[in-house]
Amino acid sequence: MSFNLLVLTCLGYVVLLFTVASAAERAAVAGRAGWLRSPMVYTLSLSVYCTAWTFYGAVGYAARSGLEFMTIYLGPTLVFVGWWVVLRKLVRIGRENRVTSIADMISARYGKSNLLGVIVTLLCIMAGTPYIALQLQSISQSFTVFVTDPTGPSLATDTTLIAFWVAVGLAFFTIAFGTRTLDANEQHPGVVTAIAVEAVVKLLALLAVGVFVVWFVATGPSDILARIDAQALPEWEIQPGRWTGLILLSAIAIICLPRMFQVTVVENTNDQHLATASWAFPLYLFLISLFVLPIAVIGMELMPAGSNPDMFMLTLPLHLGQDGLALLSFLGGFSAATSMVIVASLALATMVSNHIVVPLWLRVRAVRQRDTGDMRLLVLSVRRLSISLVLGLGYVYYVITGGSAALASIGLIAFVGVAQCLPALIGALYWRGASRNGAALGLIAGMVLWFYTLFLPSFGPEVFLSARVMESGPFDLAWLRPYSLFGLTTLDPLLHSLFWSLMVNIVAFCFGSILSFPSPIERVQGALFVDIFDRPGTARSWTRPMAEAEDLLPMAQRIFGATEAQAFFRAQAELQGKQGFLPDITPEFLEALELKLAGSVGAATAYAMLAQTVGTSVVSVDDLMAVASETAQIMEYSAQLEAKSEELTRTARKLREANEKLQTLSVQKDAFLSQISHELRTPMTSIRAFSEILMDADGMSDEEQIHFARIIHDESIRLTRLLDDLLDLSVLEHGQVQLNITTANLRELIDRAITASNSVQAERNFTLHRSRDREDVDITTDAGRLAQVFINVLSNARKYCDAADPQLRIKVKRRNGMVDVDFIDNGIGIPRDKQALIFEKFSRLTDSMQAGGAGLGLAICREIMHNLGGDITYVPGQGGAAFRVSFPMQLEARESSARPATDPAEAAE
Amino acid sequence: MKPPRTQQFLGRESYRMRRLMDAARILPVFALVLLLLPLMRHSPELEAPPTATESVYLFAVWAVMILLAFLLSLWLRRALDPADKGKRPHRAGPSGE
């Protein structure tokens, strides 16, 4: 078979995956993800456990050690069959806390400690690198099996080069589908669907080879069993230690491997899926393992002595002249390797960005004061970079070790590495007393021992540890020999390392937890995790707010983007029964915001970001009492009462707000009366005075007469304008206005408004930023009235923007039939306490007469917009005063005389 | 004289559900014990281990495990919170006792 055909097949297969993944992404975006989130897709995505190590290595493993290969699949089977015990709790906690990775889970449980996040991330990278290298190795090895012509293209025989290009290709795929968006809870429908397809391919390939071997090479199951016994070697004897140890190890690995955590916990959307997976995933593993031993036995029988059993899956069909079958098998192996690399690098990249880079960046930013970069782009770039980095590390490991070791042993080294997370993870789920210090101690101790007794020796003698150290220990201390620490000589190296690292890990974890005193946040989180099924609500860790919602909005905007953040704040405000974009800073609101942030950047970072803005959170004794188990039971009883009183609180808050508004309005009304008298009186006085002068006009020159008459004229114009405004407002308020609905172009309207408003403080030079293309919208509305609103807002900006270099941005957005026009200047904006008042009549922020109006402008604007079926609102936190004028693109003809909902202020009049 | 047969418990349904949860917890333990049996069948007089028989035994245990897990999952589904579907079957204390 030619090398080019092989490469073409691979490329075709990858194109197919691309198509599937992007179709799934599109379906998910369009909200048609129903079938994507079916239990079967979930189960199939779990098959990422079966890597190239399974596909090629299991046969080799079976040829070397008989039935022992089954342990790797029996352990996970036990965990899934027993899903009710561990997985159900793990998945529920993960979903409710929007956990993004195993590092995030551990860090969130132990007081949102980033230290633990970093430790786990480093551990997972160290353990993951050899594993990724293993996949690269198996792909490049499988390529070379096919190439029998040594004079072919040089690429065909250079395994390092093949591995390089495979790594590049996989990095590209993962970046394309794993880092498309910064999802609210780190789920990737495209990747998951592609993985599910790969799962089917590898299963079919293995079954095809198996069926061929059992029914076409041998004559059936009984013949195969006879041949198995004939081929059985003495080494195939089941060794009790390894058998038990490996079942345990693989059971741990299925929980702790970062990629398994990603597909099992992070991508889970529903408990029901886990119920299906509890039998379907063991079934998948069963089918995968069923034909491994027959293939191995037939391979040993038919293949020439000395051929590599790890490649029987390919060499056997080739040897028997089944090129098509061999190609299918090759694709199966390719699928197995690629799916593992994609998910593993995605999971590792999430950890690196959430626990190492983003916290570092935040710290640097905190030192250098804030700037308003868009964090989303940063986080995504970091993810992309991390994916490349992780794959690069895998490639480097492959080049260094030369890819010579048998496949199975590398996989097991990684298993022991990630197993170090187990004590901290299980403690997180079941032991409220487990503390951050204990977890950190245990993780570090276990990691060091694993590193010394298994990881470093795995590079082979003379790479990191010399043969002398391996033989007689460092400094000739025999009890420190890496493979027989403290004189344990009877265990094989793998079990030896597993035993020591886990044992010391657990001891350190327990001692650390028992002796240390956890912080309040740790205790709250501990109760939250351990009692997840007993608690209806969440405990709170935010009590004393010190920030304004206005400070939090810009931060949230940097993570979620402006539209989503504003929508979230508005929804939260609505929940509290408030209007506008700024909810009260209640602990509930902070909880919700933190949870939403955690879904994007991980718990520790989210907590740190909030703490930076809000100030350190203080957990009071009351809060701790609330999470203690005794009180929890009483809370159950009072839950209903609480709900009731919550509703009362909300009503009370509404009433209080209305009342405050009424009082302000009453004060305003008094002010208004004196204001209006004053406003009317001033021109009146001068009119009277000057007309008296004119009455006895003897001895007055013509110029003087004209001058006085002009003053009288000007003053009466001023009076008329004031009365006009009042009249206009009253007409608008009572809905008696006649709208003159026409079709107009928004851009022309804005142009007109800008020209008209230029006369206000004409000496100031404003820089305008607008996007003329976006403004090109045809609207059907009362154009004259709308232009009036624009002119008013623009004139206000000209009057009140106090920046030395005044700038004004006009942004137009369309969303389902509505048009939003934002006017944002770069002045100091409007103080928080004044924002609710500016739309009221006769409110002026400055008491001086500099404004030259009666303070009716914005009140009229609001009435106009209500009449046009829209609204004008103040948008806080945009770096200046920002007004959003929104209105429907097509204004329907007026529906009866009903006015838009009156607000309390107007009802009071 | 025999007392008339009466229903002893009112919450038979939820009682049964909790026992099924117990079964779900016990199942992996029994399975593990069965998987460890081959270790105790060592026969020193044989030169090579009886791999064929053992493999048939292990796959049979495996298949039974899958079957039992399937049956249990059918029942236990009801105790799960209905996450996305609108229907909400009666809750039978998902936390156990």
Distance CA A302, CA A318 (A): 12
- Which of A82-91, A164-173, A583-592 tops mean pLDDT? A82-91
Q: How far is A328 from chain B (nearest CA, A)?
A: 26
Distance CA B80, CA B24 (A): 14
Distances (CA, A) of A507 to A47, A439, A453, A860, A895: 33, 10, 18, 73, 75
Predicted pLDDT at A848: 44
| B chain contacts of residue A279, beta-carbon cutoff 8 Å | 66-67, 69-70, 73
| A chain contacts of residue B39, beta-carbon cutoff 8 Å | 238, 240, 243-244
Share the mean pLDDT of chain A: 80
Instruction: Answer yes or no: is A779 within a domain.
Output: yes
Nearest CA in chain B to A227: B52
Query: Between B27, B52, B84, which is nearest A228 by CB?
Result: B52
Instruction: Answer yes or no: is A793 within a domain.
Output: yes
* Shared domain check, A820 and A698: no
State whether A232 and B28 contact (CB < 8 Å): no
* Shared domain check, A725 and A770: no
| A chain contacts of residue B84, beta-carbon cutoff 8 Å | 269-270
Say if residues A878 and A810 touch (Cβ distance below 8 Å): no
Range of the domain at A635: 631-733
pLDDT category, A35, cuts 50, 70, 90? Answer: low
Percentage, residues of chain A above pLDDT 70: 85
Instruction: Answer yes or no: is A844 within a domain.
Output: yes
Radius of gyration of chain B (CA): 21
Nearest CA in chain B to A242: B39
Across A297-311, average pLDDT: 84
* Shared domain check, A692 and A748: no
Count of structural domains within chain A: 4
Say if residues A39 and A277 touch (Cβ distance below 8 Å): yes
Predicted pLDDT at A737: 75
Across A110-127, average pLDDT: 89
Q: Which of A542, A675, A661 is nearest to A611 (CA)?
A: A542
Q: Please report where in the chains the tokens 């942030």 appear, as a residue.
A: A597
Distances (CA, A) of A862 to A636, A662, A885: 47, 19, 9
| A chain contacts of residue B63, beta-carbon cutoff 8 Å | 286
State whether B38 and A67 contact (CB < 8 Å): yes
CA pseudo-torsion sign B48, B53, B54, B56: positive
Q: Please report where in the chains the tokens 């694709």 appear, as a residue.
A: A331
Domain boundary among the residues A733, A756, A788 is at A733
Across A750-761, average pLDDT: 82
| A chain contacts of residue B62, beta-carbon cutoff 8 Å | 74, 77, 282, 286
Checking if the pLDDT of A584 tops 90, the result is no
Distance CA B6, CA B8 (A): 6
Nearest CA in chain A to B84: A270
Task: Give the helix/strand (H/E) hosting A879.
Answer: none
| A chain contacts of residue B72, beta-carbon cutoff 8 Å | 278
pLDDT category, A678, cuts 50, 70, 90? Answer: confident
Give the mutation candidate from A271, A291, A295, A534 for the B interface (greatest B CB count, under 10 A).
Answer: A271
How many Cα atoms occupy the beta-carbon half-sphere of A285 within 13 Å? 31
State whether A85 and B24 contact (CB < 8 Å): yes
Least confident residue range of A357-371, A591-605, A743-757: A357-371
Percentage, residues of chain A above pLDDT 90: 15
Distance CA A520, CA A516 (A): 13
* Shared domain check, A876 and A793: yes
Higher pLDDT, A391 or A591: A391
CA angle, A596 as apex, A593 and A597 as ends, to 5°? 85
Distances (CA, A) of A32 to A19, A26, A44, A184, A874: 17, 9, 20, 18, 36
Across A886-899, average pLDDT: 67
State whether B55 and A67 contact (CB < 8 Å): yes
Say if residues A344 and A259 touch (Cβ distance below 8 Å): yes
Interface of B with A in 6-65 (CB under 8 A): 21, 24-25, 27-29, 31-32, 35-36, 38-39, 42, 47-52, 54-56, 58-59, 62-63, 65
* Shared domain check, A646 and A585: no
Domain boundary among the residues A373, A406, A439 is at A406
pLDDT category, A423, cuts 50, 70, 90? Answer: very high
Instruction: Answer yes or no: is A521 within a domain.
Output: no
* Shared domain check, A643 and A619: no
Higher pLDDT, A802 or A194: A194
Higher pLDDT, B23 or A141: B23
Say if residues A164 and A395 touch (Cβ distance below 8 Å): yes
Distance CA A869, CA A627 (A): 48
- Helix %, strand %, coil % for chain B, to 5? 60, 0, 40
* Shared domain check, A306 and A220: yes
Give the mutation candidate from B18, B29, B32 for the A interface (greatest A CB count, under 10 A).
Answer: B32
Checking if the pLDDT of A605 tops 50, the result is yes
Predicted pLDDT at A184: 45
Strand partners for A882:
A824
**CATH at A646:** 1.10.287.130
* Shared domain check, A663 and A540: no
* Shared domain check, A809 and A687: no
pLDDT category, A905, cuts 50, 70, 90? Answer: very low
Q: Which of A506, A593, A89, A170 is nearest to A348 (CA)?
A: A170
Least confident residue range of A205-209, A286-290, A653-657, A698-702: A698-702
Q: Please report where in the chains the tokens 């098509």 appear, as a residue.
A: A324
Checking if the pLDDT of A1 tops 60, the result is no
Distance CA A212, CA A316 (A): 11
* Shared domain check, A247 and A264: yes
Give A714-734 pLDDT, tens digit per residue. Answer: 888 878 887 888 788 777 777
Tokens standing for residue A110 = 């132990």
3-state secondary structure A461-530: CCCCCCHHHHHHCHHHCHHHCCCCHHHCCCCCHHHHHHHHHHHHHHHHHHHHHHHCCCCHHHHHHHHHHH
Higher pLDDT, A490 or B38: B38
* Shared domain check, A267 and A392: yes
Instruction: Answer yes or no: is A119 within a domain.
Output: no
Checking if the pLDDT of A562 tops 70, the result is yes
Instruction: Answer yes or no: is A613 within a domain.
Output: yes
Tokens standing for residue A55 = 């596909």
Q: Is A145 helix (H, G, I), strand (E, B) or coil?
A: helix
Checking if the pLDDT of A624 tops 70, the result is no
Least confident residue range of A217-226, A597-606, A814-823: A597-606
Checking if the pLDDT of A464 tops 80, the result is no
* Shared domain check, A276 and A190: yes
Task: Give the pLDDT of chain B (97 residues) as one tens digit per residue.
Answer: 555 565 555 677 778 888 888 898 999 999 999 998 888 776 666 666 778 888 899 999 999 999 999 999 988 887 775 544 333 333 333 333 3
Strand partners for A743:
A780
Instruction: Answer yes or no: is A462 within a domain.
Output: no
